[in-house]
Chain A
């Protein structure tokens, strides 16, 4: 903490002096024609920021287009009366009259051609759609992650890191928390797979998303009372609303592991049936073994096939959408990390590099050990509008199958050693009253039924769980204030059955009630400034693996044991944010401070004195225990454009995670990191648009905050040293035979740095991936 304060102070000083200069510049010439009209345009339903909307001042003929963030600004205006005309494809035009005396900002919510609700809602207020804390990935930054996994893409956001098990398996971590403490919402549906495992990656194709969003705050309550870490929204773009079709083809190739990615999209709105629109989307991906700077890791290939289908029907006061997605992946597990017992593990860890028998094959073939995961999601969503009210009925079904193929003694064995199938059905009805008297609220009830069964090796039991819950959120906004509060209750019943060898069964039943509430206040001090504070209470029922897991985990050669007496985990979280953006959009900063106190925090405690003896030797025991944890940290970021073509941005994420009962650090928490990026955008011309080149330097510190060895040895190996990575990206958009084509080149680990990451369990055995150049092409046929 101490080392960071000077850094903050220093940053604040710089910020303050820059602000002073800017403000004095504005004040100096406020008398002459230097007024501005700025605004922000969003879709009323999808909250999508509308870019390329045209805004014209009728009196002067001045015209602007909104940028990627849906913002526009006219500057150098004299005081007087103006009429603004706002148009966007597929929307009815909006006119707004303004008497300009001082700088003026307003928000516009446009509606895509649905006549019955009145054309648009125009509010002379600086309003943002999502109250609370929100970080998103879209546009160029999302495009740069083409071909990467969901967690690797989200890793671009400040405060979001990754938990990995080798190069193929990665999970997102938000402010130090992962797994069941994070909810992943796939196109509006809570993803229900096998998120509990540290080596179980989210079963989602990132190509589905037009935007990846991480939210914290009141809106989390819509999805559950257990989002202690946060919520990830995987948001596809809204279906096409004007007649015609769009086709898009994305391809990418990666040099390190010869990975190929092809993803296509086709969507159409039929002229004959204006109510009907649909989209087809699919992705194929295949990668060979991954190379570190010094050697290639055998059996680290990956394969993925996925597709989705969306069909929508829009009528007056009614719209309905059907969505189906299929996701299948086969992930190779590095052979040198599959461990027979503790002696083998210690031998492997002691070696500076993996044995040659595990290295050097350059092939797409995936052998044992590997994971084979499929996920199906079917969703139906219907929305009814009535007099400023919106009713939504959401029904969904999910099926997830996870098969883990271990190295087995007999080569004739073709069966998986761990086979988990989980069916989930959920139903939700919600009611929303659109903004009236400054109030805007939503309430809903939800039900979920889940059936999990296993075959093969026991790790978690068969179970049936049933849960019901209800929530109510209300938002009030006026002038500079925006207040939002919400409450949610959930009740979950779990009935478990374990079949023993001799035909006996072992049954345990559980019931958990969880309550969550949240309050958020935003105050806009003055134009450009925004203060935001959130206080949240969340609680999470223990998951089945925490209660009843009982088996060997081959990735870490440990014996994991659950505890049926675990209580719900309760968190009290305070988050405060300060944002600033100057009027010219050339400078901005964002500070987010958080303090998360989790009572009865469930964690894995190594029990070094208590090994489990099996016929394969002794395994170190890890038990699920509860403690009180305190996670305190901050994310800060700033960006500055000294000239329009050049942008510098910097972000720093800091986390302090304590086990309060043992007065020690928590294990497996992300190290602090600093990322600096410079981007140069080239002038647009007839042939090339959106052309830029960027370079990123990422410094990940050494994690020195690990449990003290005097409390029992908890880790096999000390955290790896700090490392610095250089990544680059370049992209341009050209027209090839009249087809708009985006060409991008990315380089990860440009200097081929040898490093290991604390949050990758492969750090025990091998280095991380070396230099990886990717080339991506995107064709759009409109």
Chain B
């Protein structure tokens, strides 16, 4: 009996040493949901060089704090603005806007300016159902001012999406994917 016991003990120890030697270096896929960057490209109507302003959080949520530009625009001017979402953790950077556009009926960008910012936003592009999407927009500036703008991407999880033109940015039908506040200056 004793020898049986010893044999078993030995087997156990052998088995455990086998287990422990298992390799743990499992390669992992990074989260495909990471969005590091919001990029706004301003093309002035009637000519002039385009402006680019960005929000960047290159290491994703947490870690180093995000960096962001101040949006500086000329007074009494109209800009055609295109918004882009990028994942710069990949090379070349992945353009997330493509995915948003593919499911345009489940997404919507909202642009909310602070009072007195002297910026008016209009001309949002529409989704497949003719409801505002907001990847493209038109910004019109007035006199010199400082203020801020909140850009929110709302996502409709319902299947099929129940997006409607009258939905507000805080509609409980949708939830927030992106929310960035830029300081603005018209000078």
Contacts and interface: CB of A to CB of B under 8 A. Distances in A.
Interface centre among A421, A456, A550 (most CB of B within 10 A): A456
B100 A367 contact: no
B173 A357 contact: yes
B61 to A, nearest CB: 4
Given A344-B176, A615-B35, A411 B103 contact: yes
Interface in B164-186: 170, 172-173, 175-180
A529 interface: no
Contacts of B12: 393, 395, 427, 429
B117 to A, nearest CB: 19
Given A395-B12, A429-B9, A464-B24, A501 B175 contact: no
A289 interface: no
Contacts of A357: 158, 162, 172-173
B69 to A, nearest CB: 14
A38 interface: no
A617 B176 contact: yes
| B contact face: mostly helix, strand, loop, or mixed | loop
A750 interface: no
Interface in B132-187: 155, 157-159, 162, 170, 172-173, 175-180
A615 B36 contact: yes
Given A318-B1, A397-B19, A348 B59 contact: no
A454 B31 CA distance: 11
B51 interface: no
B33 A341 contact: no
B170 A343 contact: yes
A384 B1 CA distance: 8
| Contact count band on A | 35 or more
Nearest to B60: A501
Contacts of B102: 410
A409 B155 contact: yes
Nearest to A386: B1
B80 interface: no
Interface in B72-96: 89, 96
Contacts of A354: 172
B49 interface: no
Interface string A346-383: 01100100110110000000011000000000000010
Contacts of B53: none
Given A386-B1, A408-B33, A429-B9, A613 B157 contact: no
A613 B66 contact: yes
A409 B99 contact: yes
Given A391-B5, A413-B32, A501-B59, A407 B106 contact: no
A427 B13 contact: yes
Nearest to A499: B28
Contacts of B157: 335, 338, 368, 407
Contacts of B31: 417, 456-458
B20 A466 contact: yes
Interface centre among B12, B37, B100, B107 (most CB of A within 10 A): B12
A714 interface: no
Interface in A602-635: 612-617, 619
A382 to B, nearest CB: 6
A615 B60 CA distance: 8
B179 A348 contact: no
A360 to B, nearest CB: 12
Interface stretch (A156-164, A321-329, A445-453, A592-600): A445-453
Contacts of B32: 413, 415
A500 B34 CA distance: 12
| Contact count band on B | 35 or more
Contacts of B177: 340, 409, 616
Nearest to A500: B59
Contacts of A425: 15-16, 19-20
Contacts of A395: 12, 15-16
Interface in B1-37: 1, 4-5, 8-9, 12-13, 15-16, 19-20, 22, 24, 26, 28-37
Contact of B30 (A410, A411, A462, A501): A501
B1 A615 contact: no
A84 interface: no
Contacts of A317: 1
A697 interface: no
B47 interface: no
B46 interface: no
B65 interface: yes
Interface string A382-410: 10101000010101010000000011111
B106 A423 contact: no
21 contacts: A338-B175, A343-B179, A347-B170, A351-B172, A355-B173, A393-B9, A413-B33, A417-B31, A421-B26, A423-B19, A425-B15, A429-B9, A462-B26, A501-B34, A501-B89, A550-B63, A552-B61, A614-B62, A615-B38, A615-B66, A615-B178
Interface of A: 317-318, 335-336, 338-341, 343-344, 347-348, 351, 354-355, 357-358, 367-368, 382, 384, 386, 391, 393, 395, 397, 406-411, 413, 415, 417, 421, 423, 425, 427, 429, 447, 449, 451, 453-458, 462, 464, 466, 499-502, 550-552, 559, 561, 612-617, 619
A-B residue pairs, 7 tightest by C-beta = A340-B176, A617-B179, A355-B172, A340-B175, A501-B89, A455-B28, A614-B61
Given A317-B1, A409-B107, A455-B26, 14 more contacts: A318-B4, A395-B16, A408-B33, A409-B100, A411-B106, A417-B33, A425-B20, A427-B13, A429-B9, A456-B29, A499-B30, A501-B30, A614-B61, A615-B55
